[in-house]
Amino acid sequence: MRELTLKYGCNPNQSPARLSMASGAELPLQVLNGRPGYINFLDALNAWQLVRALKLATGLPAAASFKHVSPAGAAVGQPLSRELKRACFVEDIAGLDDSPLACAYARARGADRLCSFGDWIALSDVCDEVTARVISREVSDGVIAPGYAPEALEILSAKRKSAYAVIRIDPDYVPDPVEKRQVFGITLEQRFNDAPIGEDLLQNVVTRRRDLTSQAARDLLVSLITLKYTQSNSVCFAKDGQAIGVGAGQQSRVHCTRLAGDKADLWHLRQHEKALALPFREDLSRPERDNGVDLYLSPRAHSELASGGWQRLFTKEPELLNAQQKRDYLDKLKGVSLGSDAFFPFDDSILRAAESGVSFVAQPGGSLRDAEVIDACDRLDMLMALTGLRLFHH
């Protein structure tokens, strides 16, 4: 197929809309079910590049959860702890531990479940039945993968009253080395960003601390590859083979770090024993439970759940976590990795990162205040590698 007609563009008033190759060649993808839209394809094509890069860098199956052309979560196929399975609402999925791809998507979706509501999914490997069963229970718009097992395709094609979008992409497709786009009728042209991201980027360690473990290196690669396909400015926190907090599209570096750090804190707090023990009403949907966990962990919890407000979510009044209990819990955390798509102009992002357990940092360097940033890392016992590679994405 050389062209696909889309329902409309970014908005209903933007018609007609279509998908084609500038060269007039065959499209390197096929729609197996549903009718993906303009934004769906923007998410699908960016997300596919991310998971393909993660698979190449780590050798592990990878998954991403995309919303509005940035990842809400991304991960490689690592087993989930009992606590994380419960926090991601996948503890009852039979065969989960036997499918690294399903584990990758459960992690990617679980990074920020509120932002992943209605996501687009990308999978680096052929979708198996277990992964399809995980996807089938979540509210999402569609999925892109290099292939689908017959039973997986059957499960996915039945989703959303048989309208769920399923795309198969040629895993061997390589784009032209020059890419073009039009803005306001004007054509911009640049080299396709094919800069590889691997462990060689982490060799220039500039801090006193130099003990870069294999796990930390993997997590730094996860963060950097995630950033390569995230709207800039962007910062990504990663742990255990997954992004746990993405700050995207902010105009200042420290706001990216605060946003990503706050999301990482929530990812950790969702695994707190009190959060896992919340007595949800049985009639609540999964998205309503996500909202309930978010409310429970927010500063609004005491005011909104007091005086009977809890009854719309829970069967009994939950024991709340106060600010000091949250801080005590988070202060015990270490070993988080942080990547930045451009240099830190000040040390404020490093100070904020320390509050979320960051021990390892990778960033391009090149700021006039690099020495101040490195000094802050030394004072906080962080390892920092300067990659020399900026990762802006727009």
Q: Tell me if 351 sits within 8 A of 326, measured CB to CB.
A: no
Q: Are residues 242 and 300 in the same domain?
A: no
Q: Are residues 147 and 90 in the same domain?
A: yes
CA quadruple 369, 372, 373, 374: dihedral sign:
positive
Q: Are residues 213 and 335 in the same domain?
A: yes
Q: 351 in a domain, yes or no?
A: yes
pTM of the full structure: 0.96
DSSP 181-201: EEETTEEEEEE-------GGG
Query: How high is the pLDDT of residue 251?
Result: 96
For residue 31, list its beta bridge partners: 167
CATH number for 154: 3.40.140.20
Tokens of 287: 């998205």
Q: Are residues 98 and 124 in the same domain?
A: yes
Q: Are residues 284 and 376 in the same domain?
A: no
Q: Report the SS3 class of residue 393.
A: coil
Query: How high is the pLDDT of residue 308?
Result: 83
Q: What angle do CA 134, 127, 150 make, to 5 degrees?
A: 105
Q: What is the pLDDT of residues 108-147, one digit of tens each?
A: 999 999 999 999 999 999 999 999 999 999 999 999 999 9
Distance from C-alpha of 258 to C-alpha of 167, rounded to nearest angstrom: 35
Q: Are residues 154 and 237 in the same domain?
A: no
Q: 13 in a domain, yes or no?
A: yes
Q: What is the pLDDT of residues 241-286, one digit of tens each?
A: 999 999 999 999 999 999 999 999 999 999 999 999 999 999 999 9
Q: 334 in a domain, yes or no?
A: yes
Boundaries of domain holding 69: 3-173
Q: 360 in a domain, yes or no?
A: yes
Q: What is the pLDDT of residues 3-61, one digit of tens each?
A: 999 989 999 999 999 999 988 889 999 999 999 999 999 999 999 999 999 999 999 99
Q: pLDDT class for 91, splitting at 50, 70, 90?
A: very high
In the chain, what percentage of residues exceed pLDDT 70? 100
Tokens 């197929």 sit on residue: 1
Q: Are residues 144 and 253 in the same domain?
A: no
Query: How high is the pLDDT of residue 315?
Result: 95
Catalytic residues: 67-68, 233, 394
